[in-house]
Amino acid sequence: MHVTLSVNGTEHALDIDPRTTLLDALRDHLDLTGTKKGCDHGQCGACTILLDGKRINSCLTLAVMHEGDAITTVEGLSTPDALSPLQAAFVAHDGYQCGYCTPGQICSATGMLEEIAAGWPSHVTDDLEADPALTREEISERMSGNLCRCSAYPNIVDAIAEVGGAAK
Amino acid sequence: MNITFKMDEPVGSSLLDHTRQNVISRPIDRIEGPLKVAGRARYSAEFKFPGMVHGVLVGSTIPAGTITGINETRARALPGVLAVVTDYETFLRNPGQGLETEAPAQGVREIAYFGQPVALVVAETFEAARNAAGALDIAYAPAEARLDFRALQSEARPKESSQKSQGDLDRAMMDAAASIDAVWTTPSQNSAAMEPHASTALWEGDTLIVYGAYQMLSSDRQQLADALGLAPDKVRIIAHYVGGGFGAKLGISQESVAAALAARALNRPVQVVMTRQQVFEATVRRSETIQRVRLAAGADGRLTGIGHETITANLPDEDFSEPASASTQFLYGGEARRFGNSIVTLNQVLSASMRAPGEAVGMLALEGAMDELAEALDIDPVELRKRNLPPRHPMDDLPFSSRSLAECLDHGASAFGWADRNPRPANRREGEWWIGQGMAAAARSNMLITSSARVTLGTDSRALIETDMTDIGTGTYTILAQIAAEMLGLPVEAIDVHLGDTAFPAAAGSGGSFGAASAGTSVYLACKRLRETLAERIGATPEELVLSEGMARRGNAAKPFSELVTEPLVATATVEPGKTEENFVQAAFGAHFAEVGVHVHTGEIRVRRMHGTFAAGRILNEKTARSQCIGGMVFGIGTALTEELVHDTRLGTIVNHDLAEYHLPVHADVPRIDVVFLEERDHAANPLLAKGIGELGISGAGAAIANAVYNACGMRVRDFPLTLDKLIAHLPDPDAVQP
Ligand code: FES
Ligand code: FES
């Protein structure tokens, strides 16, 4: 099946099996292997990407459903020489170990900070009317879909808090 | 220049204490960090080759029996399918154990556990292979399976090599002023590294190249060569980046052999990635345990007897048994002692090493028992431990190479604010929560494993390190660069580190907390050799030589490397364990402190804060070391509260074979974690004077949490994990103490 995917600002015309997930299209067909596969079932967050700016698990959607959508992967956030503020903060705070969950954490955090800025409440937000504060508790709650078996969690939260300008 | 060094004697001093470059130990950022955060570090399933095709493993649907036939018709008829690869003799039945150099159990006609890979379906695309894998018709003659660990525990066979005893423990128990005799149980667990096991296999002539997600490449290469009947030099394994291991990737797993056979049959590169479910069902687990711990003590709190006996499970013909008493044997004194393991044969996936095999679950029992003893004697738990530190190994009468445990206990207690703890259980309430604090000691044996590295000092004043050592998130790239930078007087940026390729000198690999010290020592020794050459070239003795900023100096005379090194200088060094291994007890130590809340109505447990003080010889990089300890402590949260692999005792399946149902700690489960390292040097461990830390953080962490739960709500749960169903029926009266 033909589909044209717009990934990190570049259009890619693909002829793929309709069963191909967006994740496998990125990894196997476009060689964008920064997006990781940890479970293929929407259970780990390693495959998180930004779809029109919103974070999604790319293993849970089919590539052919995304003609015309703006897809951003971790490769689209930077180059190794010019990291995004979140990427640089992950390095500075050691917000990873093996690095396998890391692109998902970073894409997820990028989307998450936008959600907070847009005023979306979470399970731990006390006041649903007010703008949610960027506390450690909010960050941890909102990032809980991104597993890290190396368990860099406290460092990841430090990195996100610094970039998001969290209340101490 | 090849040198070999055997660790037969404690080393007097380490050059790292004299080079004064201020690079070693510094908390510098990981040198490969920018690649990882930008998604440009490539893992084993991320290499593509022309003509590469995809394989999907098919697992057995019975736990025991024999395959009577495989009908490929339906699978082969699907579009894109290239082959159904089966090889009853050669396919791996079990994955390999760590450090083994022979092939793991092979032969898959006989089924030993549910999910045992029996065939590989290969297709042009992953989608086609996955679909066809579900269409393979396999007929079985089922046999009776052994599936119920607790029901079969009376049939456990003793593991002879683990039986140790001294004095009369029964007598000591009878004569004790206070004693504990109880049974702790811990569940089956899975390492659940985020990167699934994967191999990309291709043949270049008669040489097999595998990009494999493995921890110990040099022994894995030997396992793979043996399994395929090849000479080891006809196998090359590459793993530049490994997405976590935690023991599950120590030995080779089934996808490697399957991919290699398929690649040979099809004459095309083949990539095989296990599904998450296959990782749970077919790789490696930590065995469930039943542990009986006995402690006998006088009224002064001094132990007179200690026993730690463990029942574990494994597959037929596998004799690994979780060594739960590993640190119990030297951590505390007491004349009468008894230790031993026994194994129940089960038709469940292989039991092998998962992070800190032994201590990770053994210290849940030991340190829980110590907490109970402290209460029985009305002695502070920190003080009870300090009173029982033996001067030498209580059975082998060996000295400790270094042991700052008392210092860790004191420092941790004061940093955590232990003095303010209310020792009366169920006595502190905040809102809807009972609040409690607990502690435990940490201990993990230290090892040195033979390891080699080559260091090349180039004419461009850069150094290149080459070894088949892996970095599985442990920080190897960075600490090896730091060691070389410190030794050679070069900036870290001038060191290139090439790891994870068996084309390089064979290293220890990542496992058992020995990687950093073993591989690090080989780099140290090679650099030391290069220093000697540079010293000669400027007419200095090695003692006079000072290297810094790319210059070699002797007194006031200085020459740049560019003048001294006109041809690349190469040194290869190997370190081997020696007599210090037999003559000293070597372990890293620490102290864990935890505060939890237990919900007054539901029994839900939340960890509120954790503190760990550790001493592990020289710390090679404070930043990556701290992350290692945090990682271990979070494993402790999972061990204490959430992780349990549930085996169906009728069907042999793993009920929760995915990341939705096997509960790893997530962000919201993890509080702020403090980690402090005390200054220490270990002269018997290795010339770096460093000890391993990769597993120290988990050892004892879960016990501190369980002890805190007792302090919070007065309930001793000895059956891990501490899920709320085990608490809710017996929670104290919420109104007994007002918030
Ligand atoms: S791979 Fe998509 S959530 Fe795990
Ligand atoms: S860094 Fe290894 S899983 Fe998160």
Task: ipTM value, please give it.
Answer: 0.98
Amino acid at B545: L
The C-alpha R_g of chain B, in whole angstroms, comes to 27
Token pair recorded at residue B34:
């920018």
A43 to chain B, any CB pair closer than 8 A? The answer is yes
> Is the domain of A106 the same as that of A50?
no
Which pLDDT tens digit goes with each residue over B620-638? 999 999 999 999 999 999 9
Domain C-terminal end among A73, A99, A121: A73
A76 to chain B, any CB pair closer than 8 A? The answer is no
- Cα of A46 vs centre of ligand 2, distance in Å, is 9
**B2-41+449-577 architecture in CATH?**
2-Layer Sandwich (3.30)
B393: nearest Cα among B327, B485, B490, B459: B327
For residue B474, the chain A residues in CB contact (below 8 A) are 97
Helix H or strand E encompassing B447: none
Give me the count of residues in chain A: 168
> Is the domain of A128 the same as that of A103?
yes
B230: nearest Cα among B254, B207, B205: B207
Domain C-terminal end among A29, A51, A73: A73
- CATH number of the domain at A99, please: 1.10.150.120
Helix H or strand E encompassing B389: none
Helix H or strand E encompassing B578: none
Please give the pLDDT value at position B1: 80
- Cα of B515 vs centre of ligand 1, distance in Å, is 30
> Is the domain of A34 the same as that of A90?
no
Under 8 Å between Cβ of A79 and A139: no
| pLDDT tens per residue across all 168 residues of chain A | 999 999 999 999 999 999 999 999 999 999 999 999 999 999 999 999 999 999 999 999 999 999 999 999 999 999 767 999 999 999 999 999 999 999 999 999 999 999 999 999 999 999 999 999 999 999 999 999 999 999 999 999 999 999 998 654
Segments forming the whole domain that contains residue A113: 85-164
In a domain? residue A108 = yes
Q: Where are the beta strands (DSSP E) in B76-206?
A: 81-85, 110-111, 117-123, 137-142, 157-158, 164-166, 178-186, 189-190, 198-204
Q: What is the DSSP letter of B122?
A: E
> Is the domain of A100 the same as that of A29?
no
User: Token pair 């396999």 is at which residue?
Assistant: B138
Residue of A nearest to B674 (CA): A154
> Is the domain of A11 the same as that of A45?
yes
DSSP letters spanning B664-695: ---GGG---EEEEE-----TTT-TT-B---TT
Residue of B nearest to A76 (CA): B38
Which pLDDT tens digit goes with each residue over B340-391? 999 999 999 999 999 999 999 999 999 999 999 999 999 999 999 999 999 9
**Dist. CA B728–CA B172, nearest whole Å:** 37
Domain total in chain A: 2
Measured CA distances, B217 to A92, B6, B53 (Å): 30, 22, 24
Under 8 Å between Cβ of B455 and B530: yes
Q: Average of pLDDT values for B125-148?
A: 98
Confidence (pTM): 0.98
CATH topology for the B358-447+583-730 domain: Aldehyde Oxidoreductase; domain 4 (3.30.365)
Give me the count of residues in chain B: 739
Q: SS3 of B299, please?
A: coil
User: Token pair 């930043």 is at which residue?
Assistant: B623
Measured at the CA of B506, the angle between CA B504 and CA B508, to 5 degrees, comes to 135
> Is the domain of A59 the same as that of A113?
no
**Dist. CA B541–CA B532, nearest whole Å:** 8
**Residue B695 falls in the annotated catalytic set:** yes
**Dist. CA B680–CA B618, nearest whole Å:** 6
Please give the share of chain B, as a percent, with pLDDT higher than 70. Answer: 100
> Is the domain of A43 the same as that of A112?
no
Residues 6 or more apart whose Cβ sits within 8 Å of residue B644: B187, B188, B189, B656, B662, B663, B720, B721, B723
Q: SS3 of B548, please?
A: strand
In a domain? residue A111 = yes
Token pair recorded at residue B654:
């793993």
**Dist. CA B484–CA B547, nearest whole Å:** 12
The nearest CA of chain A is from the CA of B251 a distance in Å of: 18
The nearest CA of chain A is from the CA of B733 a distance in Å of: 27
> Is the domain of A146 the same as that of A101?
yes
> Is the domain of A159 the same as that of A116?
yes
Mutation choice for A interface testing from B194, B621, B641 by most A CBs within 10 A = B194
In a domain? residue A80 = no
- CATH number of the domain at A39, please: 3.10.20.30
In a domain? residue A79 = no
Which pLDDT tens digit goes with each residue over B466-518? 999 999 999 999 999 999 999 999 999 999 999 999 999 999 999 999 999 99
Beta-ladder partners of B336? B305
Q: SS3 of B411, please?
A: helix
Domain C-terminal end among A40, A73, A106: A73
The reply to whether B358-447+583-730 shares the fold of B2-41+449-577 is yes
A14 to chain B, any CB pair closer than 8 A? The answer is no
A151 to chain B, any CB pair closer than 8 A? The answer is yes
For residue A37, the chain B residues in CB contact (below 8 A) are 45, 196, 273
- Cα of B286 vs centre of ligand 2, distance in Å, is 20
> Is the domain of A89 the same as that of A157?
yes
